[in-house]
Amino acid sequence: MEKTHSFLAAHGLKGERMIISEHMPQLASLSRLSAEQQQNVMDALSCCAFWRITLADDAAQLDTGDASRKGFNVKAGIDGSALKLKLVGRVDSLIAPSLLGFFERTVAEHSIDAVNIDCSELEYISSAGLRILLIVRKKCEHGITMRNVLPAVYAVLEQTGYDQLTAIE
């Protein structure tokens, strides 16, 4: 059991054991049974469980294919309705589609209204990366906040006017 939880945690997932009798709708067919028979069925189902596997609240994975070998990595988590990202390396035209795909999958699974990005290890962002940030910004009611932006990245944001569109701390 511990190996399973370690494996799931290593991949940004969590597993919950769900007792079937606690998460089962009332079945119409049970109404045809006596009260004793109904109780026996529910007792039997209390011994049965299934595993619900979801993203861990504090971790999510970005499938970047070979991107990690090309100098990019991301750490992600969800805090309430905010997606927290830490971008490491370079966001360029090779990485941008994976980053957008990750965001779209996350929004489909969670109610996200803000994105907080730690840029302390973001070395470079291309126009493709800026395009992704604009798409993300449009889909989030509370926008994007970028923190710890390095001077080289800030220069790109400033030159393109992106610094006027988002909160940079």
In a domain, 60, yes or no: no
Residue 120: pLDDT above 50?
A: yes
Q: Which pLDDT score is estimated for 52? A: 74
pLDDT tens digits for range 61-76? 444 444 444 578 888 8
SS3 state of residue 17: strand
- Residues contacting 61, CB < 8 A, separation 6+: 11, 12, 76
| Residues of the chain by 3-state class (helix, strand, coil), percent to 5 | 45, 30, 25
Q: pTM of the entire structure?
A: 0.60
pLDDT tens digits for range 32-41? 889 999 889 8
Q: Kindly state whether residues 47 and 73 are assigned to the same domain.
A: no
Q: Kindly state whether residues 88 and 18 are assigned to the same domain.
A: no
Q: Region 161-168: what's the mean pLDDT?
A: 83
Q: Kindly state whether residues 70 and 36 are assigned to the same domain.
A: no
**Exposure of 109 in the CB half-sphere (CA atoms within 13 A):** 15
Q: Which pLDDT score is estimated for 59? A: 45
Q: Kindly state whether residues 88 and 69 are assigned to the same domain.
A: yes
